Chain A
Amino acid sequence: MSEPQADFEPKIVAFLCKWCSSAGSDLAGVSRIQYPANATPITIPCTGAVSPMYILSAFNKGADGVLVSGCHIGDCHYIEGNFLARRKMHLTVELLKFIGLEPDRFRMSWVSAAEGAKFAQVVTEFVDDVKKLGPQDKLKKVVSP
């Protein structure tokens, strides 16, 4: 693992569900809440649509952290998508920890469309945690010059 750097700005890939967390991030924006700009949002139809491959691929392409965020349990637009996501993400996070990736590289949260402040808080905390870990080079593809 690399040494933590003071000026290190982590790249975070944020998979946000269209119905809740995307709208939540939007609310954080229109409410002019200040939070780190490290997260690159990718809107997905539902957290249940997040394949573990998305997460592995994000790390493979050089993400320092991956955030998956969706509707609270019981609020899923597709009724049960986030229940399925919870199970799938549990397996994914356990596997990532198992091979020795720092647990703080992956985060999942429930953020509703009304929780702009919570979204800002989740991202802030995540960025802080990833900053402490430094760049992610375990799963990152090494591009030969």
Chain B
Amino acid sequence: MINIQDIRDTARDMLAKGEVRAVIGYRHGTRGMLAEPAFITNPEQAGELVWDPTCFHNLSLYLVEDRKFLAHLNKTSAAPIAIMAKGCDARSIVVLLQEHYFKREDVYIIGVSCEGSGVVDERKLASHLNGFQALNAVFDGDDFVFTTAQGEKRLPAREVMADRCLECRNPFPKENNVVFGEDKTGRELAVPFAALARFEAQGTGERWDFWSHHFDRCIRCFACRSVCPMCYCDECVVDSITFPVTPATTAEEKANRIRWIERSATRSENITYLMTRAMHLAGRCTDCGECERACPVNVPIRLLNNKMEREAREKFGFEPGASIGGPSLVASFLDSDPGDFIR
């Protein structure tokens, strides 16, 4: 059981001593029970930090934003940034470090273990509260306790937990500077890749019916890209609007740029976008599930990423975010890689 006061004290101390220039964490938001990302630079604000089942955001995104911001100002990092990281978030940070996106000393990881539970899935919770909005949520052992206008509602965590948390194998942030909570690695709440296995058991036709339906619905708002800490490219290959245009860019240059896909949200273009994204995240996605949560039309993006994750794990023995010094998935190979699909 994590005592939030310990995290607040740590944050306050570090900010007061000037060891870090900011603490990225969670605070109580303005919409019901939900936590929101907090960027704390003043030691007095450290008391705002919270840790509850609604802390689902992957905050490593803001490390990426900070680095981009500093690069834009042509500055280097004066002091590290401290960040609250769950198991999946810590793995995201490891992948970013593996790709040399920033240096290890630029980040101070305040690990928070998800212990026996994980974060809540709002959609699952909605069916349990008789239409009332939850105003507060707290961890309590293997349960979540929600406060609504009707009073307290205690629910077993696994009934309302996000799927990714049920399937999570590493709820403990292995890479950390300081860690709160117990290491409950190896807890088995659900079989990993259960949804994927169910989906794959279907035939080609059914799979296509399922995906064509979802590819039709995608509106290409790029929320999945915006929320993903791994989608840090300044120029996105599948979005021509991100190609840089300076006063020196000639009309000819603009006209001759390769536009792999159109920007219209049609099925074929959506397929290419989502598949390219899945490929670019292969071996990098740490299954924080933020893309699927951010999706306004509920496209099951996690399935695609899970598929890549499982292929990497089963065929290449590759675990994303396992170690900072390790090779990346598509820039390494083994003699034993499967080649039976090649004639």
Contact = CB atoms under 8 A, between A and B. Distances in A.
A111 B133 CA distance: 63
A95 interface: yes
A60 B261 contact: yes
Given A80-B333, A94-B311, A102-B204, A140 B268 contact: yes
Contacts of B211: 99-100
Interface string A90-109: 11111111111110000111
Interface of A is mostly: helix
Interface in B26-70: none
A115 to B, nearest CB: 11
B175 interface: no
Interface residues of A, number: 37
A51 B338 CA distance: 19
A141 B206 CA distance: 21
Interface of A: 52-53, 56-57, 60, 73, 80, 83-84, 86-102, 107-110, 122, 125, 138-142
User: B interface, by DSSP: helix, strand, loop or mixed?
Assistant: helix
Given A99-B211, A141-B262, A142-B268, A84 B339 contact: no
B84 interface: no
A108 B333 contact: no
28 contacts: A52-B279, A53-B276, A80-B333, A83-B337, A84-B330, A84-B333, A86-B342, A87-B329, A87-B333, A91-B308, A93-B341, A95-B279, A96-B275, A98-B207, A99-B207, A99-B211, A99-B271, A99-B275, A100-B210, A100-B212, A102-B204, A122-B343, A138-B208, A138-B212, A139-B268, A141-B266, A141-B269, A142-B268
B265 interface: no
A88 to B, nearest CB: 5
Nearest to B340: A90
B330 A87 contact: yes
A62 to B, nearest CB: 10
Given A86-B342, A98-B200, A91 B272 contact: no
A93 B282 CA distance: 13
Closest 3 CB pairs of A and B: A100-B208, A100-B207, A83-B333
Contacts of B279: 52-53, 91-92, 95
A64 B331 CA distance: 29
Nearest to A109: B343
A142 B332 CA distance: 37
B212 A90 contact: no
A62 B208 CA distance: 18
A142 B264 CA distance: 11
A91 B329 CA distance: 10
A108 B200 contact: no
